[in-house]
Amino acid sequence: MVSRVIPVEPFDLVIFGGTGDLARRKILPALFRRFRAGQIRSDTRIIGAARREMDTAAWRNFVAEAISAHARDAEGDREEATAREGFVRMLDYVVLDASGETGWAQLAGLVGDGRVRAFYFSVAPRLFGALAERLHQHGMADGDSRIVVEKPFGRDLASAQELNRTLARHFHEGQIYRIDHYLGKETVQNLMAIRFGNMLFEPLWNSQYVDHIQITVAETVGVDGRADYYDRAGAMRDMMQNHLMQLLCLIAMEPPARFEPDPVRDEKLKVIRALDPVEPDNLVRGQYAAGDGMRGYRDHVGNPDSTTESFVALKAHISNWRWAGTPFYLRTGKRLRDRASEIAVVFKDTPHSIFDDDAGRHRNILTIRLQPNEGIELGVTIKEPGPGGMRLVDVPLDMTFAEALGPEEADFPDAYERLIMDVIRGNQTLFMRGDEVEAAWAWTDPAIATWDGGDGMAPAPIPYPSGSSGPRESLMLMRRDGREWREIRA
Ligand code: NAP
């Protein structure tokens, strides 16, 4: 299997917030890897913009260091040093204030006509409106321009609608790329290939054959470095409303007529609109406590009274013909046992067992692992080998990409690499449309309102030990239905 790199036409990319954490850790290393792979041509221009006083030479040094520290497999060998020299030659820097006049005329003079121009808003969301306005004022918001907007996209429905309206004043929907980097993950796209490229699964993909679906996004880190933001957001806003909802959409949607932006996004939107409101009994909020020499959440964010959740689990129902009767269990949290994210489709028991009870009963589970070791595994029941009579045992049909494709082929691009290249190619399939984001908030807001009446008096979430699977109540959410969460295991 040979992976193909199709070079893109030279383009101009402006990174607002070019000195920030996201630019340093993700955006710039991703661009470097695409350059080294031969996808980005050397007459492309990448322009960093921020208020910090520095010249282009200093920003080039900053970027070179970011690449050494954060580009995956940065080897430091001669070939890489040459690639890095070539890459930094494409870089320019402009001292610019998003909400003032500084730097805008200079930027307008740098970006060219007749090529794709992308503007990456890697700054605090309160600056998104000012950036859109200034780009328009300085003649950079025309049809060849695209803007890339980072999360969070609002903190509720009203603020997301306001932000959509603000951006729409100067950019039409086809120019706006709302990033959810989960959609750029290889396995997430493979989920669509597995579902819609094979005859095998789709006939079984409904409530008649699927007992339930569980989605887990577990992190071991705490709120490191993002305490202020996180304490105002919490797990429901930071993860559930976007990443987990997107995964839910892809697993539950109807086959789109074509693999194109609007047909795919139309189907995802229908899933969100078919979700029943979450009942308070089906929602568990947790907050990690101190223990094992680790600081607890409240200590971490410096707010001894914080009632923000660092963990949330819920049971969701989709009211449509395909899924009525099949529950979806979703959970995400920080400081959990392992860093492990997966979707598990748990099929029903066979209608009748022809084997003795001694043989045991097993269920087929299709597991889509997002991290670590991206891959897909199907648990199949077979006879235990040997002379011990008919005993059944589960064996995994394992499609770990690194094993199935070999390490080189499985060295696929990081989510940011793929998504930035999609922006340049003008492909919005893996980006959220404005109505999708609003529908997701319209579903999340009432759930949040069950604990947060807006008066700052939300009840405290349930404490859970660092390194655990979250609060016991989350386990009970499934046990009371006679089901179990899968173990959180890397
Ligand atoms: P950050 O480290 O605080 O960086 C912010 C950047 O914005 C800096 O380069 C800063 O440089 C620049 N900036 C601030 N005010 C400005 C102004 N008035 N005009 C021009 N530039 C200005 O933030 P970040 O972590 O990179 O996050 C950037 C965006 O990505 C945010 O929307 C965040 O929510 C989102 N995001 C970040 C992560 C992550 O892992 N970091 C993950 C997901 C989403 P100066 O101070 O020099 O101007």
**pLDDT of res. 105:** 96
Ligand 1 near 19 CB (within 6 A): yes
- Residues 143-179: b if buried by 16+ CB within 10 A, e if exposed: ebbbbbbbbbbbbbbeebbebbeebeebbeeebbbbb
C-alpha 21 – ligand 1 centre gap (Å): 7
Listed residue (203, 448, 446, 216) closest to 332, CA to CA: 216
C-alpha 179 – ligand 1 centre gap (Å): 15
- Average pLDDT value for residue range 458-466: 92
pLDDT in tens, 297-318: 999 999 999 999 999 999 999 9
Give strand pairing partners of 93. Answer: 48
Which entry of 181, 212, 243, 300 is annotated as an active-site residue? 243
C-alpha 434 – ligand 1 centre gap (Å): 22
CA 372, CA 385: separation in Å to the nearest integer?
31
pLDDT in tens, 257-306: 999 999 999 999 999 999 999 999 999 999 999 977 889 999 999 999 99
pLDDT in tens, 199-234: 999 999 999 999 999 999 999 999 988 899 999 999
CA 8, CA 355: separation in Å to the nearest integer?
58
**pLDDT of res. 333:** 98
Of ligand 1's listed atoms, the one at least distance from the Cα of 23 is: 26
C-alpha 50 – ligand 1 centre gap (Å): 9
Whole-number percent of the chain with pLDDT over 90 = 76
Of ligand 1's listed atoms, the one at least distance from the Cα of 98 is: 19
248 compared with 454, residue with greater pLDDT: 248
Contact 307, 471 (CB under 8 A): no
**pLDDT of res. 382:** 85
Active site residue 352: no
- Residue 408 in this model has a pLDDT that exceeds 60: no
**pLDDT of res. 387:** 82
**pLDDT of res. 475:** 97
- pTM score of the predicted model: 0.94
- Residue 169 in this model has a pLDDT that exceeds 80: yes
Ligand 1 near 125 CB (within 6 A): yes
Which of 123, 155, 242 has most ligand 1 atoms within 8 Å of CB, for mutation? 123
Q: Whose CA is nearest to atom 30 of ligand 1?
A: 122
C-alpha 22 – ligand 1 centre gap (Å): 7
**pLDDT of res. 490:** 87
Q: What domains does the chain contain, in order, with CATH numbers?
A: 11-150 (3.40.50.720), 183-412+433-479 (3.30.360.10)
Q: What DSSP string describes 392-447?
A: EEEEEEEEEHHHHH-TTTT-PPPHHHHHHHHHHHT--TTSB-HHHHHHHHHHHHHH
Of ligand 1's listed atoms, the one at least distance from the Cα of 50 is: 21
**pLDDT of res. 388:** 77
376 compared with 75, residue with greater pLDDT: 376
- Residue 166 in this model has a pLDDT that exceeds 80: yes
Average pLDDT, rounded, for the chain: 92
- Average pLDDT value for residue range 137-147: 92
